[in-house]
């Protein structure tokens, strides 16, 4: 398998493949009584331990064996964050099959497209997705059985699905006597499709080795910093890049796991945080906005929550400040993508930064951060020439590393690497200390008179205004400058701010010519399947917007 030459003297350590099954075996052996708590789709709270999870994962592995699922075959899930989904994570990958987590927020046609593309053999789904599954089942050409993640009494009296099975029935009939097989660590373990904002979704096919290395690296102190003393609640869904690897890295560290199920509103999340004494969480900015709004309205505080990782889209500095100042929660800004398993960079300070003023430290922490060990990055111009790390020069961001994609599943898109590096599609600057800051996605950047305007800065300034809840900046056609920025704003409930006030708010905060030409107010911004603001939809809506000519 290795493309590299062998030394005449090879190391003499045990040869043991890095396999996902070893994580749950470790958690069971060393943290058997540590809890996994889930808010279920059924509405109640379920609790059990790593030992119980391991036992049931082995039962599920026996079920898959009886189904005849072979190594390398894909088994799909359509499920929220919960213990049964975790069992599928370990049983499917651990037995040598490939876990394909499907985003249930996708359109049924897209779900069917990726299930067919992946040639999924079975689909495990949460009971509230029954209508979705009924809609997609006739379109799915390879799925032999649909397993509903529930007890018998929740099964529908009648359904159009041909082979509908009950998860708990299958598990109670199965034995927990199962030995996890050993196989090549480069075998495929799981499959995630990119959300495909343009064109069809493409699959990132992870291996056991890439997943294990990503788990080790992401648990490090300057990354997610998870330990056996933590209580971790992954808000990021297990269908969004494997919940950023937390279902693997948390059992690796022995921390307690808390799953929120489908209840991702501010109130439900807050109550679960308090009830289970959550210390650490991770999610995209839009979810945190809901939590902070709920807490502000009800004058609530956290009693245990200490640290959260925010990524997936740029975390506005105003949100970081609110977390730290108002709630005593440290925010670690992280950047990555489906093609990177997903973690690439995390932003934490160096000891020399302790001398800096609070403002200077905040400025550093608002960046996307330094590469975690294993990931290397560089910025290049359009001709591929490497650009300096001076904190000013921006260029296309390229990455490489053992958990970075080499090619898409089934070679979709052909050869995607540029000289061994993966082009991320992001535009960034890197400073002398290696702190990277995303200025934009290359497709969102505004091209004004031959110069680039990064929209993230413009949005961050807008949301630091006390009356602004959310903001998105897009380029619209301009007769002289090609494109100029238009700011689309959602005001906080009951708050007022005018177009003129907002435009003035930019004075002194940014180069004058970056200031948006116009502001429009709206009730809500379109949010995509992974909780991100959909810029392409906003561009469609305001395509013909007439900018003031003055």
| Closer residue to ligand ADP, CB minimum distance, 77 or 368 | 368
Helix (H) or strand (E) holding 320: helix 317-321
What sign does the CA torsion over 64, 65, 69, 73 have? positive
CA distance 117 to 111: 10
Closest CA to 111 of 77, 149, 155: 77
CA distance 90 to 189: 10
Structure tokens at 121: 């053999």
Closest CA to 181 of 255, 120, 93, 113: 93
Minimum CB–partner distance for residue 338 and ligand ADP (Å): 3
| Closer residue to ligand ADP, CB minimum distance, 17 or 196 | 196
CA gyration radius, the chain: 24
Closest CA to 343 of 401, 395, 415: 401
Q: What track of x and - describes contact with ligand ADP for positions 245 through 284 (by CB under 6 A)?
A: ----------------------------------------
Helix (H) or strand (E) holding 16: none
User: Which of 187, 195, 225, 279: binder of ligand ADP (CB under 6 A)?
Assistant: 195
Minimum CB–partner distance for residue 389 and ligand ADP (Å): 18
Residue 154, judged by CB atoms within 10 A of its CB (0-12, 13-18, 19+), counts as middle
| Closer residue to ligand ADP, CB minimum distance, 257 or 343 | 343
Strand partners, 100: 76, 191
Interaction of residue 530 with ligand ADP, rule CB under 6 A: yes
> Which of the residues are catalytic?
194, 339, 447, 452
Minimum CB–partner distance for residue 26 and ligand ADP (Å): 28
Helix (H) or strand (E) holding 455: helix 455-463
User: Which of 361, 441, 478, 492: binder of ligand ADP (CB under 6 A)?
Assistant: 441
Structure tokens at 119: 């040639």
User: Which of 32, 391, 425, 526: binder of ligand ADP (CB under 6 A)?
Assistant: 425
Minimum CB–partner distance for residue 408 and ligand ADP (Å): 12
User: Which of 337, 429, 473, 502: binder of ligand ADP (CB under 6 A)?
Assistant: 337
Structure tokens at 56: 């049931």
Interaction of residue 426 with ligand ADP, rule CB under 6 A: yes
CB atoms within 10 A of CB 182: 12
Size of the site for ligand ADP (CB under 6 A): 21
Structure tokens at 224: 């997610």
Q: What track of x and - describes contact with ligand ADP for positions 444 through 463 (by CB under 6 A)?
A: --------------------
Minimum CB–partner distance for residue 291 and ligand ADP (Å): 18
Minimum CB–partner distance for residue 387 and ligand ADP (Å): 18
| Closer residue to ligand ADP, CB minimum distance, 53 or 445 | 445
Interaction of residue 474 with ligand ADP, rule CB under 6 A: no
Q: What is the footprint of ligand ADP within residues 222-241 (CB under 6 A)?
A: 241
What phi and psi values does residue 280 have, to the nearest 5 degrees?
Answer: -145, 140
| Closer residue to ligand ADP, CB minimum distance, 97 or 453 | 453
CA distance 201 to 240: 13
CA distance 108 to 521: 31
Q: What is the footprint of ligand ADP within residues 306-335 (CB under 6 A)?
A: 311-314, 333-335
Q: Which residues bind ligand ADP (CB under 6 A)?
A: 194-195, 241, 311-314, 333-335, 337-338, 342, 368, 424-426, 438, 441, 530, 532
């Amino acid at each position: 398998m290795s493309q590299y030459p062998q030394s005449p003297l090879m190391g003499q350590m045990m040869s043991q493949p890095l396999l996902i099954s070893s994580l749950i075996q470790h958690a069971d052996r060393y943290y058997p009584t540590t809890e996994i708590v889930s808010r279920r789709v059924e509405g109640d709270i379920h609790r059990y331990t790593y030992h119980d999870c391991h036992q049931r994962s082995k039962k599920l592995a026996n079920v898959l064996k009886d189904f005849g699922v072979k190594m390398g075959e894909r088994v799909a899930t359509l499920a929220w964050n919960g213990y049964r989904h975790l069992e599928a994570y370990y049983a499917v990958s651990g037995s040598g099959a490939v876990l394909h987590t499907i985003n249930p927020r996708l359109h049924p046609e897209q779900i069917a497209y990726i299930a067919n593309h992946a040639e999924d053999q079975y689909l495990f789904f949460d009971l509230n997705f029954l209508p979705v599954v009924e809609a997609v089942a006739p379109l799915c050409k390879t799925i032999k059985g649909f397993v509903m993640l529930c007890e018998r009494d929740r099964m529908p009296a009648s359904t159009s699905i041909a082979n509908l099975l009950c998860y708990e029935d299958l598990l109670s009939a199965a034995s927990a006597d199962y030995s996890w097989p050993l196989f090549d660590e480069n075998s495929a373990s799981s499959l995630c499709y990119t959300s495909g904002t343009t064109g069809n979704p493409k699959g990132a096919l992870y291996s056991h080795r890439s997943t294990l290395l990503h788990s080790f690296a992401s648990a490090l102190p300057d990354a997610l910093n998870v330990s056996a003393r933590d209580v971790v609640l992954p808000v990021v869904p297990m269908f969004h890049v494997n919940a950023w690897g937390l279902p693997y890295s948390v059992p690796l560290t022995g921390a307690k796991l808390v799953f929120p199920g489908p209840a991702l509103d501010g109130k439900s999340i807050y109550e679960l945080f308090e009830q289970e004494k959550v210390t650490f969480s991770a999610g995209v900015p839009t979810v945190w906005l809901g939590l902070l709004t709920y807490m502000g309205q009800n004058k609530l505080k956290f009693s245990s929550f200490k640290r959260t990782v925010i990524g997936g889209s740029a975390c506005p500095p105003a949100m970081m400040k609110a977390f730290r100042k108002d709630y005593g929660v440290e925010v670690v800004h992280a950047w990555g993508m489906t093609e990177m398993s997903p973690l690439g960079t995390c932003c934490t300070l160096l000891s020399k930064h302790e001398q800096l003023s609070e403002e200077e430290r905040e400025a550093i922490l608002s960046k996307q951060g330094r590469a975690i060990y294993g990931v290397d990055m560089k910025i290049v111009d359009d001709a591929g020439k490497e650009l300096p790390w001076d904190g000013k020069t921006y260029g296309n961001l390229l990455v490489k590393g053992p958990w970075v994609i080499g090619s898409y599943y089934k070679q979709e898109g052909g050869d995607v690497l540029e000289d061994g590096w993966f082009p991320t599609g992001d535009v960034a600057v890197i400073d002398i200390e290696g702190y990277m800051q995303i200025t934009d996605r290359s497709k969102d950047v505004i091209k004004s008179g031959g110069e680039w305007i990064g929209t993230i800065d413009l949005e961050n300034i807008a949301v630091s205004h006390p009356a602004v809840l959310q903001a998105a900046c897009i380029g619209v056609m301009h007769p002289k400058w090609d494109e100029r920025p238009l700011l689309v704003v959602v005001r906080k409930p009951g708050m007022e701010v005018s177009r003129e006030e907002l435009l003035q708010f930019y004075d002194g905060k940014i180069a004058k010519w970056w200031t948006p030409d116009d502001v429009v107010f709206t009730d809500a911004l379109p949010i995509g399947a992974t909780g991100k603001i959909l810029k392409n939809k906003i561009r469609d809506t305001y395509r013909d917007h007439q900018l003031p000519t003055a």
